[in-house]
Amino acid sequence: MSTSPEKPVLIVFGAGGHGRVAADAALFSGAFARVVAADRNPAAWGTEMLPGVPVLRPDELSALPAPLAVHIAIGNNPVRRQEAARLAAEWPLAQLATIVHPSASVAASARVAPGCLMTAQCVVGPMAELGEGVIVNHGAVVDHDCRIAAWAHIAPGVKLGGAVQVGEAALVGAGSTVLRNLRVGAGATLGAGAVLLQDLPDGAAWAGVPARPLALASA
Ligand SMILES: CC(C)(COP(=O)(O)OP(=O)(O)OC[C@H]1O[C@@H](n2cnc3c(N)ncnc32)[C@H](O)[C@@H]1OP(=O)(O)O)[C@@H](O)C(=O)NCCC(=O)NCCS
């Protein structure tokens, strides 16, 4: 007789808007025994982030039963990366949870590292790779062979053509399009609604159609 592994209790760190999106996807996924939230801001403690998802106080968190899973629901990429490192030291036994909304389409051949969030209606194509803590937000398309480095955020409605590379902690803004084979640099920002026609350098902020450095985009 086979025994199915016990579902973990999920702690969503970050009780803001992005936390609500992550918790909603986690509830829909059915992958967790229970979903609770945590936040550094004491004003959030004792309230509900969503119906049925309480924001627990620190002493209540430490009383939760194993197995535990944690998900860092912070939209700011560098802060999300930093909080993951802090929580790994603080909660060494908790696993970093990946959350997949049931309406997300994730290819069987895609490789997804721990801590990712794939929300409603997104698509992750064949042979695509998502590094640790990547967000693929509502309705975004990460097409075949794309490589998204750790802690990057692919915002709602983005379209990444095939084999696009996105560097660590980059933000690809809502509704933007990146043509195939291009690279968005590490720590770079592509503005909402942009169309990227050439590589975006590390740390740069570009916007517009076609995308150009931000000061030029508004000229
Ligand atoms: C590109 C972006 C990062 C710039 O933010 P910012 O540095 O605060 O810039 P500002 O809002 O001060 O705007 C600076 C100038 O760029 C222009 N600009 C800002 N965003 C733009 C965009 N997406 N496309 C074209 N022009 C843009 C502004 O109109 C402004 O022009 P001005 O100097 O002529 O007035 C931001 O506007 C953006 O698009 N962020 C993406 C947000 C997103 O998708 N988040 C995901 C949520 S889930």
Which residues face 153 on adjacent strands?
135, 171
Of 109-113, 161-165, 187-191, 213-217, give the lowest mean pLDDT range.
Answer: 213-217
Could you tell me which of 57, 54, 51, 86 has the C-alpha nearest to residue 72?
86
Distance between Cα 116 and ligand 1 center (Å)? 26
Q: Please report the pLDDT score of residue 218 as a whole number.
A: 60
Give the model's pLDDT for residue 216.
Answer: 61
Pocket residues for ligand 1 (CB within 6 Å)? 137, 155-156, 173-174, 189, 191-193, 205, 207-208, 214, 217-218
Q: How do the domains of the chain map onto residue ranges?
A: 9-97, 100-205
pLDDT at 175 over 60: yes
Cα 193 to middle of ligand 1, angstroms: 10
Helices H, strands E: what count in the chain? Answer: 4, 25
Amino acid at residue number 18:
H
Average pLDDT over residues 189-196: 98
Average pLDDT, the chain: 94
User: 59: CA distance to ligand 1 center in Å?
Assistant: 41
Query: What are the C-alpha distances in Å from 1 to residues 4, 5, 29, 175?
Result: 10, 13, 25, 49
Determine the Cα–Cα distance for residues 78 and 28; give it in Å rounded to an integer: 28
Query: Which amino acid residue places its CA nearest to atom 9 of ligand 1?
Result: 214
Residue 205 has pLDDT above 60, yes or no: yes
Catalytically annotated residues: 144
User: Which amino acid residue places its CA nearest to atom 42 of ligand 1?
Assistant: 173
Please state the pTM of the whole predicted model.
0.95
Region class of 60: left (phi > 0), else alpha (psi between -120 and 50), else beta: alpha
Q: What whole-number distance in Å separates Cα of residue 45 and Cα of residue 151?
A: 26
- Closest C-alpha residue for ligand 1 atom 35: 218
Three-state SS sequence of 164-183: CEECCCCEECCCCEECCCCE
CB atoms within 10 A of CB 186: 17
| pLDDT tens per residue across span 23-77 | 999 999 999 999 999 998 999 998 999 999 999 998 899 899 888 999 999 999 9
Question: Quick one: pLDDT at residue 2?
Answer: 47
**CATH number among 3.10.20.90, 3.30.56.10, 3.60.40.10, 3.40.50.20, domain 9-97:** 3.40.50.20
Q: Which residues pair with 135 in a beta bridge?
A: 117, 153
Ligand 1 atom at minimal distance to the Cα of residue 176 = 44
Look-up of token digits 């409603």: 120
State the distance from the centre of ligand 1 to the C-alpha of 172, rounded, in angstroms.
Answer: 12
Residue 190 has pLDDT above 70, yes or no: yes
Which residues are paired to 207 by β-bridges?
A: 212
CATH number for region 100-205: 2.160.10.10
Name the residue among 17, 29, 151, 38 with its Cα closest to residue 87.
38
Percent of the chain with pLDDT over 90: 86
